[in-house]
Structure 1
Amino acid sequence: MMKFSILIANYNNGKYFKECYDSIMAQEYKNWEAVILDDASTDDSVSTIKKIIGGDRRFRFFENPANSGVGITKSKLIELAEGDVCGFVDPDDAITPTAISSSMANFQKKEVVLTYSIFMSCDENLRPLNPFRTRQVKNNDPFFFNYPIQIAHFVCFSRKIYLQTEKMNTAMRISEDQDLYLKMYEKGKVKFINEVNYLYRLHSGGISQNDNKSRSYEYFAKVIFNAMKRRNLKKINGRNIPDEYTHSKEIYDLLEYQHSIPYRIKKKISIFAQQIFG
């Protein structure tokens, strides 16, 4: 039975961790470990989390000596993991009881390198608000950049295949997840699980929910540009890809055609054919 590594990057979110912990303990799939790396929290997160996990050896707790940022922290977590498949869970969020088992069922197929599902936006008390509607993406498409975003939560990936990529960009403090997803996408098939497997808490302390929206837009453009270069693309829809990155608008303008109705219809047909014929 393959082992699953739940990866948790914590910074000042210990007060929410109990519900995350409870959701891990409730997993239908039993062969898992939880690797927690605290990024030099300034609150009582370390003592709070250690108290909750107690002496359970399935939980492995580590600390960064100094605040390093999410790119470095998440990269370290993957290196620390011992499982065959990894998935990030934020300490202020939670996963549903079948989240891991649903994902692992797909990794029995060797060509699958990444899975994702529907996530539910929740209020500060983790009460459901609205699901993030997503769908299966087209595989093996050099012009797929996850824009607009379809691959979000609960994303799980093969650790063995990840180690064959350029790995996570540790310099990034935002959009490091999108960088990871696109690198994995280039290595095999991704599979959408049509279930709500992740509970995403909205609260005032959420890193991705506050003043980082505009910066995230910029970082994501850089991620897309790097993917274009990694794939040796020269043109997109007849337009030249710049040699150097200058600003986000230039990159997003290249992808504007993907919002057109003819393109979207063609994409739906190709995804339907992909699901029928594999």
Structure 2
Amino acid sequence: MMLFSILIANYNNGSFFKDCYASVIVQTYENWEVIIVDDASTDNSVELIKKIIGNDTRFKLFTNKENKGCGYAKHKCVSLAEGGICGFLDPDDALFPNAITEMVQIHKEHNDVSIVTSKYELVDLKMNTIEEGNHGSAISFGKSYLTSGAGAMTHFATFKKEKYNVTVGIDAKMKRAVDQDLYFKMEEVGTVVFLNEVLYRYRIHEQSISANENKFKAHYWHFYAMINAYKRRKKNKIEIDNFTKQEIKIIKSNYYMSRFARAKKNNNHCVKRYFLLKAIVTFPSYNLKHKLKSLF
């Protein structure tokens, strides 16, 4: 039975870990390990996690001496994993009991598969279901993750370690959108399978990226991951669904205009002018009327 590595990067979410832990120990698949990397939490996360996992040797806790960010912590998680298949689980979220069993089955049946994704549900602080997440879906035929629309690949996502090792790995300097960057890279080295089942429970609270200021920061890193994927695929001559230079210029121009709008809202005049200029230079004729109006 293949070892499955559950990867948990924690920063100040130890108070939620008991539900995460409870969902792991009831998995129907029995051969697993849990790699936990605490990224120098400033709360009592480490103490709480140690108390919960006790002497269970299946759980391995590592701590960073200083805060390095999400990319560094997740990169470290993978490097420490001994399983042939890996999957990330956030410490404030939880898995359905059959999650690992379902994933391992797909990976065993298809050697060419690099990553398997599924669907998730949104839950409240007490893990009560709010609604099914609306982002997880199969990638359209003839398309790639880069061009099929944002959010087609979501939690629960699992990947073969041998396929991961062929890539440059998780970008340790990334602060957000680490999962998206990983999805791009895994798609480039193997086949993607979408499992149309809800296997993951995503908890909504004030620290969630979708719930506060972190959403804007995530926007930058999503843009960063997409541009890097485009450059990487061009360099390695990987076909990108006829993804033209004009389309990438539109993405860049729209991103710069979103930064312009934010700077304008915050009355940051120098930053505002900078991003408007970037949007114009990137694609002068695109949405020109709106850009000209923005000058005044």
Q: Same fold (TM over 0.5)?
A: yes
Aligned residue for 1:172?
A: 174
1:248 to 240, 246, 255: 255
What is the root-mean-square deviation in Å for CA atoms of aligned residues? 2.4
- In structure 2, stretches of 5+ residues that fail to align are 259-278, 283-296
Alpha-carbon separation, structure 1, partners of 2:195 and 2:228: 27
User: Which secondary structure state, in structure 2, belongs to the residue aligned with residue 231 of structure 1?
Assistant: helix
Partner deviation per Cα, 1:121-140 (whole Å, 9 max, x = no partner):
01111110111133211477
Report matched runs for 1:105-120 at 5 Å.
Answer: 105-108=105-108, 109-120=110-121
TM-score, structure 1 as length reference: 0.84
Letter in structure 2 aligned against 1:205: Q
Q: CA deviation at 1:147?
A: 2.8
Give the 3 Å change call, closer, same or farther, for CA 247–222 of structure 1 in structure 2: farther
Unaligned runs of 5+ in 1: 255-278
Q: Which residue of 204, 219, 225 corresponds with 1:202?
A: 204
Give the number of the structure whose residues are more often helix, by fraction: 2
How far 1:105 moved relative to its partner? 0.6
Alignment of structure 1 residues 60-209 onto 2, 5 Å: 60-108=60-108, 109-133=110-134, 134-138=136-140, 141=143, 144-145=146-147, 147-209=149-211
Question: 2 CA distance for matches of 1:137 and 1:35?
Answer: 30
Higher relative contact order (CA 8 A, sep 6+): 1
Q: Which amino acid aligns with 1:168?
A: I
| Match for residue 228 of structure 1 among 205, 227, 230 | 230
Is the CA contact (8 Å cut-off) linking 2:209 and 2:215 kept in structure 1?
no
- 1:249/1:45 Cα in 2 relative to 1: closer, same or farther (>3 Å)? same
Residue type matched to 2:189 in 1? K
Amino acid across the alignment from 2:167: T
| Amino acid across the alignment from 1:126 | M
**In structure 1, C-alpha distance between the alignment counterparts of 2:95 and 2:152, rounded to whole Å:** 18
| Rg larger for | 2
SS at match of 2:166: coil
One-letter amino acid matched to 1:236? F
Give the Cα–Cα distance (whole angstroms) in 2 for the partners of residues 10 and 50 of structure 1. Answer: 13
Question: In the aligned structure 1, how far is the partner of 2:213 from the partner of 2:116?
Answer: 29
CA gap 1:185/1:38 in 2 versus in 1, 3 angstroms: same
Q: Could you tell me how far 1:224 is from its partner in structure 2?
A: 1.1
CA 1:48/1:246 → structure 2, altered by over 3 Å: closer, same or farther? same
Shift of 1:146: 5.5
* Cα contact 1:143–1:236 (8 A) shared by 2: no
- State how far apart, in whole Å, the 2-side matches of 1:79 and 1:209 are: 30
Residue by residue, what CA displacement relative to the aligned partner does 1:145-191 show, whole Å, maximum 9, x if unpaired? 45321101101111111111011111110111101100001111111
Question: Percent identity among equivalent residues?
Answer: 40
